[in-house]
Amino acid sequence: MYNLYETISSLCAEKGIKPGRMCNELGISRGAITDLKAGRKQSLSAETLSKIATYFGVSVDYLLGNEQKEKPATDSDGLTESDRRDIAIELEQLMDEMTRSGDLMFDGDPATPEAIESLRSAMEMGLIYAKKVNKDKLGK
pLDDT of residue 31: 93
Kindly report the number of other CB atoms within 10 A of residue 19's CB atom.
Answer: 19
Cβ neighbours of residue 88 closer than 8 Å, sequence gap 6 or more: none
Kindly give the parts of the chain with pLDDT less than 70. 1-2, 68-76, 138-140
pTM as predicted: 0.50
Model confidence pLDDT, tens digit, residues 40-74: 998 899 999 989 988 888 888 888 888 766 555 55
pLDDT of residue 81: 80
pLDDT of residue 12: 92
Q: Which of 59, 8, 10, 13 is nearest to 34 (CA)?
A: 8
pLDDT of residue 1: 39
Cβ neighbours of residue 21 closer than 8 Å, sequence gap 6 or more: 12
Q: How far is CA 69 from the centre of its chain?
A: 17
